[in-house]
């Protein structure tokens, strides 16, 4: 069996994997990515490079992915549908694959109104499910979205998507996961988990339909660094679920960052043993330096 | 009564004054959409006339066209106002962008000022409330979504929604707006037709939106 990426190989061999997010800078400084990469080297199997996350202009995910490749680290290039139409997206898939990118995470993307250019025209020519299907067809069938044929080398990429166990309406979320798998998703990174109980309900549904056998699921972790961040996640970030008990723990702590770390640690330990979970995806927003300790202390490190 | 109309809003009065630049002006309204959404009917044209005159702007005359986007009616009706038109330097149009352009094509010797911003093709839900329903994309997909349009009503135009960010049925971008995907799902569920959503909808053919002319 040949694998498209080392990340795919690890998942296929049923190793419990870790991915970590590296957000590119609001500058043309490659050192900003290299410094984060050096800090996180060895902490994760692969590293998500975000694509202008929250609609804020940053160094591109393709360039960020290439910087990681030059350091022999494995990128998961994120692609959103907000800033490029199907021509631009397909072109960048070819370019990324030619440069050595082997994992792509397909997202629809945050709306431009939440970012630093609210006057921008959002593209949204296609959505994440269509993007998955388009790249899958480029890879497996050698055809572009229009039906036109690729000439020569196809983009040999391992495809991922996001899933949100907390999204409204909850009754259709597992069907939506199935649709992403049908479209081409081979791995899933979930929304950050704070409400483990609700996550268990979702994963039970996923397992009962056998979807955990069809796709590799990584559960999301975002350590809460401060009361302000907990408040933002609880009340302002769409699609997140911070239970009152977690919020109170942060709010009443003498050292909120330390408490946030403990909560993340506890959550990883609870998620690690759940049947159907194949890894942890850590998104430490502006707090990447906490990841090495989190990975080591939760026992994720020894497994690699 | 529900009707689908081109919904406009009047531009800011100061911006209108800046465009008029103290020159004599002729006012044009429209008896259709702009009347129903209270931006360019007789009431609004007369109110603006009064407001402009308070600012010492000479208003040479006014007319409510039937409707402003109808070239032949415009020609006929404007003839009756030839004298007033000749006394103006500018023509301020309180109609949709469509009507403004029809007049720009007819009255080439005067400067045309758009007095409204055109927002969307929408439903008149109440006398004073309008909701976006259509972006005239050229290929109607309503059959796939229980009669509700994600192209015009979802801020990300998702054909395979929902995005997962809605909260209690409200859009993540604007809490005042109902998530169209939530409504699509509730509608299909009511009819036991949720299965329809398992089909992956292909990318939309936007070439259909490129029509510039139609003759019958």
Q: Are B7 and B33 in contact (CB under 8 A)?
A: yes
Low-confidence ranges of chain A (pLDDT < 50): none
- Is A284 part of a structural domain of the chain? yes
- Is A250 part of a structural domain of the chain? no
A122-133: per-residue pLDDT in tens?
Answer: 999 999 999 999
Per-chain mean pLDDT for chain B: 95
Secondary structure class of A37 (helix, strand, coil): helix
The bridge status of strand A187-192 relative to strand A216-221 is: parallel
- Is A252 part of a structural domain of the chain? no
Q: Is A191 on the interface with B (CB under 8 A)?
A: yes
Q: Is B197 on the interface with A (CB under 8 A)?
A: yes
- Is A123 part of a structural domain of the chain? yes
Element (H, E) at B205: none
pLDDT value, residue B3: 62
* Domain interval for residue A283: 6-224+275-289
Burial class (CB in 10 A: 0-12, 13-18, 19+), B14: exposed
- Is A241 part of a structural domain of the chain? no
Contact B164 A182 (CB under 8 A): no
Q: Is B173 on the interface with A (CB under 8 A)?
A: yes
Residues of B in contact with A113 (CB under 8 A): 155, 173
B70-120: per-residue pLDDT in tens?
Answer: 999 999 999 999 999 999 999 999 999 999 999 999 999 999 999 999 999
Smallest CA–CA distance from A167 into chain B, residue: B164
Where b means 16+ CB within 10 Å and e means fewer, A23-36 reads: bbeeeeebebbeeb
Residues of B in contact with A111 (CB under 8 A): 155-156, 172-173
- Is A232 part of a structural domain of the chain? no
Adjacent-strand bridge partners of A281: A19, A220
Secondary structure class of A26 (helix, strand, coil): coil
Q: Provide the 8-state DSSP code for B13.
A: H
pLDDT value, residue A218: 98
The pTM of this model reads 0.95
- Is A268 part of a structural domain of the chain? no
Residues of B in contact with A125 (CB under 8 A): 203-204, 206
A26-81: per-residue pLDDT in tens?
Answer: 999 999 999 999 999 999 999 999 999 999 999 999 999 999 999 999 999 999 99
Q: Are A99 and A115 in contact (CB under 8 A)?
A: no
Smallest CA–CA distance from B171 into chain A, residue: A238
> What is the CATH classification number for the domain harbouring A52?
3.20.20.220
Contact B156 A128 (CB under 8 A): no
Cross-chain CB nearest to B160 (options A114, A129, A167): A129
Number of structural domains (chain A) is 1
Q: Are B105 and B71 in contact (CB under 8 A)?
A: yes
CA distance B185 to chain A (A): 8
Among residues of chain A, what percentage have pLDDT more than 70? 99
B118-162: per-residue pLDDT in tens?
Answer: 999 999 999 899 999 999 999 999 999 999 999 999 999 999 999
Contact A238 B166 (CB under 8 A): yes
pLDDT value, residue B214: 92
Q: Is A299 on the interface with B (CB under 8 A)?
A: no
pLDDT value, residue B1: 45
Q: Is A115 on the interface with B (CB under 8 A)?
A: no
First and final CA of chain B: distance in angstroms?
A: 30
- Is A300 part of a structural domain of the chain? no
Contact A130 B203 (CB under 8 A): yes
Residues of A in contact with B156 (CB under 8 A): 81-82, 108-109, 111, 122, 124, 127
Structural domains in chain B, sorted by start: 4-119 (3.40.50.2300), 138-201 (no CATH)
Q: Is A183 on the interface with B (CB under 8 A)?
A: yes
């Amino acid at each position: 069996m040949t694998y498209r990426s080392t990340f795919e190989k690890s998942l296929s061999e049923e190793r419990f994997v870790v991915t970590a997010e590296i957000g590119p800078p609001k500058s043309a400084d490659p050192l900003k990515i290299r410094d984060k990469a050096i800090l996180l080297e060895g902490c994760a199997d692969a590293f998500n490079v975000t694509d202008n996350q929250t609609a804020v202009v940053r160094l591109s995910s393709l360039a960020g992915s290439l910087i990681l490749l030059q350091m022999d680290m494995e990128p998961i290039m994120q692609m959103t549908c907000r800033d490029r139409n199907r021509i631009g997206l397909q072109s960048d898939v070819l370019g990324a694959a030619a440069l050595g990118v082997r994992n792509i995470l397909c997202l629809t993307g945050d709306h431009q109104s939440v970012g630093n250019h609210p006057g921008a025209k959002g593209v949204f020519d296609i959505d994440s499910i269509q993007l998955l299907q388009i790249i899958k067809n480029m890879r497996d069938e050698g055809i572009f979205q229009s039906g036109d044929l690729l000439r020569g080398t196809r983009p040999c990429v391992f495809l991922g998507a996001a899933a949100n166990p907390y999204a409204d309406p909850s009754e259709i979320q597992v069907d939506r996961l199935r649709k992403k798998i049908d479209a081409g998703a081979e791995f899933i990174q979930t929304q950050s988990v704070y409400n483990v109980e609700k996550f268990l309900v979702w994963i039970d549904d996923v397992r009962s339909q056998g979807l955990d056998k069809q796709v590799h699921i990584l559960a999301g972790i975002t350590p809460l660094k401060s009361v302000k961040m907990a408040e933002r996640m609880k009340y302002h970030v769409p699609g997140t679920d911070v239970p009152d008990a977690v919020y109170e723990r942060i709010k009443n702590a003498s050292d909120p960052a330390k408490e946030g770390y403990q909560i993340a640690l506890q959550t990883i330990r609870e998620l690690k043993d759940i049947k159907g979970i194949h890894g942890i995806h850590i998104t430490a927003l502006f707090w990447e330096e906490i990841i090495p300790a989190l990975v080591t202390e939760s026992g994720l490190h020894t497994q690699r | 009564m529900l009707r689908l109309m081109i919904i406009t809003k009047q531009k800011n009065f100061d911006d209108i004054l800046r465009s008029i630049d103290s020159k004599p002006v002729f006012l044009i309204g429209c008896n259709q959409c702009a009347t129903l959404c209270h931006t360019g009917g007789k009431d609004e044209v007369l109110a603006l006339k009064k407001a402009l005159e308070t600012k010492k702007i000479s208003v040479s005359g006014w007319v409510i066209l039937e409707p402003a986007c109808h070239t032949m009616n415009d020609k006929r009706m404007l003839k009756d106002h030839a004298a007033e038109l000749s006394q103006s330097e500018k023509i301020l149009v309180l109609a949709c962008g469509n009507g403004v352009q029809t007049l720009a094509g007819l009255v080439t010797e005067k400067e045309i000022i758009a007095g409204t911003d055109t927002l969307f093709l929408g439903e008149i839900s109440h006398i004073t409330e309008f909701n976006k329903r259509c972006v005239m994309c050229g290929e109607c997909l309503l059959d796939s979504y229980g009669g509700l349009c994600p192209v015009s009503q979802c801020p990300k135009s998702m054909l395979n929604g929902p995005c997962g960010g809605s909260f209690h049925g409200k859009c993540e971008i604007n809490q005042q707006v109902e998530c169209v995907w939530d409504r699509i799902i509730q509608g299909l569920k009511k009819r036991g037709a949720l299965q329809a959503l398992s089909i992956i909808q292909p990318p939309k053919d936007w070439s259909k939106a490129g029509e510039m002319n139609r003759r019958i």
